[in-house]
A and B are shown apart, each in its own frame.
Chain A
Amino acid sequence: MSAEDTHSSSVEVAARVERRWAIIAVIIISGMALLAAFAGIHQATMPQPRVETTDPSRIHLSGEFVESNLGSVLEANGNVTVRAIGQQYSFTPACIVVPVDTPITLRATSADVVHGILIQGTNVNTMLVPGYISEQLMRFGKTGDYLMPCQEFCSFGHEGMWGKVKVIDKAEFANRAKSGGRLSCVGQ
């Protein structure tokens, strides 16, 4: 066997090993992408389906984010809708009350700069960008108190922007919802 043959056969071996590795890498990657899509459908943490706009400096005048409409409301189908806003440097309502084991839609927006809503110990995590409405589905499996910090820098008072979420018993929530209006746990 000449030197040239050894050379070309080693080139082939190298190319074959590389190809195998490349195929393994592609399989790993496609597997991950499929996993992501599957988890998205079955674990219900898909990004919001629609883009909706609003005028942040006028949200207190009309529309769904006026003060009397902020808070939790029990819908006819048994689901709950929570409407909230973020502003420098608090969430309104500052304490959100929701029932346990219930599908909840969180609709929120910002009144001034970019904020974020993160509920600790859950997968609830969304940005509040002024001019746009954020929507996220959530469901709490356990009653209790959760912290809800603003997760995006919103200027010098950012470190003081912490809200709360109180998850209560379904019956108790239904009872409180009877009197109508929007529920919150502010002042409790």
Chain B
Amino acid sequence: MLVNRKLILAHFWFAFAVFGVALTLGAWQMFIRSPIGTWLSNPELYYRSLTAHGTVMGYVFPTLVAMGFGYAISESALEQRLVGVRWAWTGFWLIVIGSIMAVIPIALGRASVLYTFYPPLIGNLFYYLGVVLVVVGSWIWVALMSINLRVWRKAHPGAAVPLAMYANVAGSYLWAWTAVGAALELLLQIIPVAAGLKNTIDAGLARIFFSWTLHAIVYFWLMPTYIAYYTIVPRAIGGRVYSDSMARISFILFLVVAMPIGIHHTFADPQVGAGFKFIHSAFTALVALPTLLTVFTICASVEIAARLRGGRGVFGWIRALPWDNPMMLALAFSFVMLGFGGAGGLINMSYQLDASIHNTQWITGHFHLIFGGAIVIMYFAIAYDLWPHLTGRELIDVRLIRTQLWLWFVGMIVTTFPWHWVGILGMPRRMAYFDFGDPAIAPQALSVTFSAIGGFILLTSGIMFIVILARGMRAPLAEAGAYRFAVAVHQPTTVPVALNTHALWVALMIALTITNYGYPILNLATTAGTSVPAVYVGAQ
């Protein structure tokens, strides 16, 4: 039951429009700093573009996809009209206004501080205010998801909350809490300086606040992807979810352990104690658990589909899978990229190995493979799957869709694998140009060229994606029927309270944040003399 289709479409369209712009900027950046581009006479243009790319891809695009998908889940999984439609539109417009407000100073070169802010560098006030508006808009969505679930519970006392909604609400709570870190950094530290009320800032403390957001935000981006793994893919390929409770456990594990691990982004920082670095390293290892569980459950669910289609043998069933189904293709690509990206992540999280690749192109390669690859390819799949239900028209270009997914996969591999390699060679991140003519770094030139070519493959795929969706808006009308989610092999009628509600896990998430972040934050906040003078960018 999808009633508020316009609302969902608005979220998706704005998300994909800004995604297209940011993708173009990304491809340009890859090109301009590669040996095939010519050096920029104004390096600031590169950092401007980088700030826009990061801000859109990090804060605007995935948030809108999660929100749009969240509204769709709420209406179709609960079979209940969305409560608070006006608020939902308010949230949407706050994000639109916030995005525009943030992008204008970036475009004018007044906020080239990158999406990670990096105080004591300080840009234009409106950039930060814009980001705050985006976050506030998304918090409205968090509240609405919670309220809609509550309304449904009242109408269905004791009933098992559909898996898709359970996961969706878990994702929204994760976002609400993880955004608090960056919000504290912006409101307590950066905005007072950008507004001219203060002129010093504790750069070390700011980095800790940001790490609170920086890692768990990835799991927020990941949530729609995992929801699609569990509740869309098995249905789309004619299988069943292997285990409903395992799925719930995976989502609550994300909720609990995605958060208190962010200090692994500051392993090389001088302002955090080694003990906390170790604790965060160990908890980061735990995050692998829900992913390993998911890989198992999804492979088992897919195997069920294959066997139902007549697949035989220990591995022979793989051939029986519906490989021409875009959803199957997307899942396979996503898993391959998740596998490589995850393996790279294990290196980043381990305290020691991190030192050899920290802040090199390896990191850029890593998160593009995980986010741009494993996660975003499922965003495409979600859009393709939902589109006929949102537009009431059929997506007929299945071949084009397959080509688009293939191109994205190939493009992402061609982009990120060489990136990882030059990272190991020690190529630093975020430089507007490199002197590949110098023999010391000349061996990296070929890899960087490959990456740049990968960037253009990705751009091509991205344009195809938008074209497919746009054409889908004008295809012949066709009733797609009710939007349904996959059912489990043993569809539960009752679920233990702990796995049907979020309270226990939210409480654990907050408790772990206090134990793992409380002291490092309080310690620096109460130490005098750690604030340093702000450095304003673009203040000529």
- Would A33 and B281 count as touching, CB distance under 8 A? yes
- Would A158 and B288 count as touching, CB distance under 8 A? no
- Would A21 and B352 count as touching, CB distance under 8 A? no
Query: Quick check: is B168 within 8 A (CB to CB) of the other chain?
Result: no
Q: Considering only CB atoms, which chain A residue lies closest to B249 in the complex?
A: A22
Query: Quick check: is B350 within 8 A (CB to CB) of the other chain?
Result: yes
15 A-B pairs (CB sep. < 8 Å)? A18-B297, A29-B286, A37-B278, A39-B353, A47-B267, A57-B532, A114-B120, A114-B203, A116-B359, A125-B358, A135-B270, A153-B429, A154-B121, A155-B47, A156-B112
Query: Quick check: is B437 within 8 A (CB to CB) of the other chain?
Result: no
Contact of B271 among A112, A129, A156 (CB under 8 A): A129
- Would A32 and B350 count as touching, CB distance under 8 A? yes
Q: What is the 8 Å Cβ interface bit string for chain B, positions 521-540, against chain A (1 contact, 0 not)?
A: 00000010111110101000
Question: How far, in angstroms, from A57 to B531 measured CA to CA in the complex?
Answer: 11
- Would B530 and A53 count as touching, CB distance under 8 A? yes
Question: How far, in angstroms, from A55 to B528 measured CA to CA in the complex?
Answer: 11
With a 10 A CB-CB cut-off, give which of B359, B425, B430, B490 has the most chain A CB atoms.
Answer: B359
> For window 267-293 of chain B, which residues contact chain A by CB distance below 8 Å?
267-274, 277-278, 281-282, 285-286, 288-289, 292-293
- Would B203 and A130 count as touching, CB distance under 8 A? yes
- Would B428 and A51 count as touching, CB distance under 8 A? no
Shortest distance from the beta carbon of A35 to any chain B beta carbon, whole Å: 7
Question: How far, in angstroms, from A5 to B530 measured CA to CA in the complex?
Answer: 68
- Would B441 and A127 count as touching, CB distance under 8 A? no
- Would A51 and B352 count as touching, CB distance under 8 A? no
- Would B268 and A120 count as touching, CB distance under 8 A? no
Contact of A29 among B43, B271, B288, B351 (CB under 8 A): B288
Question: How far, in angstroms, from A49 to B273 measured CA to CA in the complex?
Answer: 7
- Would B532 and A133 count as touching, CB distance under 8 A? no
Question: How far, in angstroms, from A117 to B510 measured CA to CA in the complex?
Answer: 34
Shortest distance from the beta carbon of B17 to any chain A beta carbon, whole Å: 27
- Would A47 and B530 count as touching, CB distance under 8 A? no
- Would A45 and B430 count as touching, CB distance under 8 A? no
Q: Which residues of A contact B114 (CB under 8 A)?
A: 153
> For window 103-155 of chain A, which residues contact chain B by CB distance below 8 Å?
109, 112-114, 116, 118-121, 123-135, 145, 147, 149-155
- Would A129 and B204 count as touching, CB distance under 8 A? yes
With a 10 A CB-CB cut-off, give which of A21, A51, A55 has the most chain B CB atoms.
Answer: A51
Query: Quick check: is B434 within 8 A (CB to CB) of the other chain?
Result: yes
Q: Quick one: given A118-B359, A125-B358, are A21 and B489 in contact (CB under 8 Å)?
A: no
Shortest distance from the beta carbon of B443 to any chain A beta carbon, whole Å: 11
Shortest distance from the beta carbon of B440 to any chain A beta carbon, whole Å: 6
Question: How far, in angstroms, from A128 to B266 measured CA to CA in the complex?
Answer: 11
Q: Considering only CB atoms, which chain B residue lies closest to A149 in the complex?
A: B428
Question: How far, in angstroms, from A167 to B242 measured CA to CA in the complex?
Answer: 58
With a 10 A CB-CB cut-off, give which of A35, A40, A46, A47 has the most chain B CB atoms.
Answer: A47
Q: Quick one: given A14-B242, A18-B243, A158-B430, are A130 and B355 in contact (CB under 8 Å)?
A: no
Query: Quick check: is B296 within 8 A (CB to CB) of the other chain?
Result: yes
- Would A125 and B355 count as touching, CB distance under 8 A? yes
Query: Quick check: is A36 within 8 A (CB to CB) of the other chain?
Result: yes
Question: How far, in angstroms, from A152 to B114 measured CA to CA in the complex?
Answer: 11
Query: Quick check: is A66 within 8 A (CB to CB) of the other chain?
Result: no
Q: Considering only CB atoms, which chain A residue lies closest to B359 in the complex?
A: A151
Q: Considering only CB atoms, which chain A residue lies closest to B290 in the complex?
A: A25
Q: Which residues of B contact A118 (CB under 8 A)?
A: 358-360, 426, 428
- Would A159 and B490 count as touching, CB distance under 8 A? no
Query: Quick check: is B155 within 8 A (CB to CB) of the other chain?
Result: no
With a 10 A CB-CB cut-off, give which of B269, B278, B428 has the most chain A CB atoms.
Answer: B428
Query: Quick check: is A43 within 8 A (CB to CB) of the other chain?
Result: yes
Contact-size category for A: 35 or more
Query: Quick check: is B494 within 8 A (CB to CB) of the other chain?
Result: no
Contact of B277 among A35, A47, A131, A132 (CB under 8 A): A47
Query: Quick check: is A178 within 8 A (CB to CB) of the other chain?
Result: no
B contact residues vs A (CB 8 Å cutoff): 43-44, 47, 112, 114, 118, 120-121, 202-204, 207, 242-243, 246, 266-274, 277-278, 281-282, 285-286, 288-289, 292-293, 296-297, 300, 346, 350-353, 355-360, 425-426, 428-434, 440-441, 489-490, 527, 529-533, 535, 537
- Would A153 and B118 count as touching, CB distance under 8 A? yes
Question: How far, in angstroms, from A47 to B269 measured CA to CA in the complex?
Answer: 8
- Would B426 and A120 count as touching, CB distance under 8 A? yes
- Would A29 and B121 count as touching, CB distance under 8 A? no
- Would A39 and B489 count as touching, CB distance under 8 A? no
Question: How far, in angstroms, from A46 to B350 measured CA to CA in the complex?
Answer: 11
Question: How far, in angstroms, from A121 to B112 measured CA to CA in the complex?
Answer: 30
> For window 1-50 of chain A, which residues contact chain B by CB distance below 8 Å?
7, 10-11, 14, 17-18, 21-22, 25-26, 28-30, 32-33, 35-37, 39-40, 43, 45-49
A contact residues vs B (CB 8 Å cutoff): 7, 10-11, 14, 17-18, 21-22, 25-26, 28-30, 32-33, 35-37, 39-40, 43, 45-49, 51-53, 55-57, 88, 109, 112-114, 116, 118-121, 123-135, 145, 147, 149-159
- Would B426 and A28 count as touching, CB distance under 8 A? no
- Would A127 and B121 count as touching, CB distance under 8 A? no
Question: How far, in angstroms, from A107 to B535 measured CA to CA in the complex?
Answer: 24
With A33-B282, A156-B47 known, 11 other A-B pairs at CB within 8 A are: A40-B352, A47-B277, A48-B274, A116-B359, A118-B358, A118-B428, A125-B356, A126-B268, A133-B270, A149-B426, A153-B114
Q: Which residues of B contact A127 (CB under 8 A)?
A: 266, 268-270, 359
Q: Which residues of A contact B428 (CB under 8 A)?
A: 116, 118, 149-151
Contact of B43 among A32, A114, A159 (CB under 8 A): A159
- Would A132 and B288 count as touching, CB distance under 8 A? no
Shortest distance from the beta carbon of B349 to any chain A beta carbon, whole Å: 8
Contact of A132 among B118, B271, B490 (CB under 8 A): B271
Question: How far, in angstroms, from A88 to B533 measured CA to CA in the complex?
Answer: 14
Q: Which residues of A contact B350 (CB under 8 A)?
A: 32, 35-36, 39
- Would A132 and B426 count as touching, CB distance under 8 A? no
Q: Which residues of B contact A145 (CB under 8 A)?
A: 440
- Would A47 and B274 count as touching, CB distance under 8 A? yes
- Would A159 and B271 count as touching, CB distance under 8 A? no
Question: How far, in angstroms, from A114 to B281 measured CA to CA in the complex?
Answer: 23
Q: Considering only CB atoms, which chain A residue lies closest to B278 in the complex?
A: A37
Shortest distance from the beta carbon of A107 to any chain B beta carbon, whole Å: 10
Contact of B270 among A22, A57, A134, A155 (CB under 8 A): A134
- Would B288 and A28 count as touching, CB distance under 8 A? yes
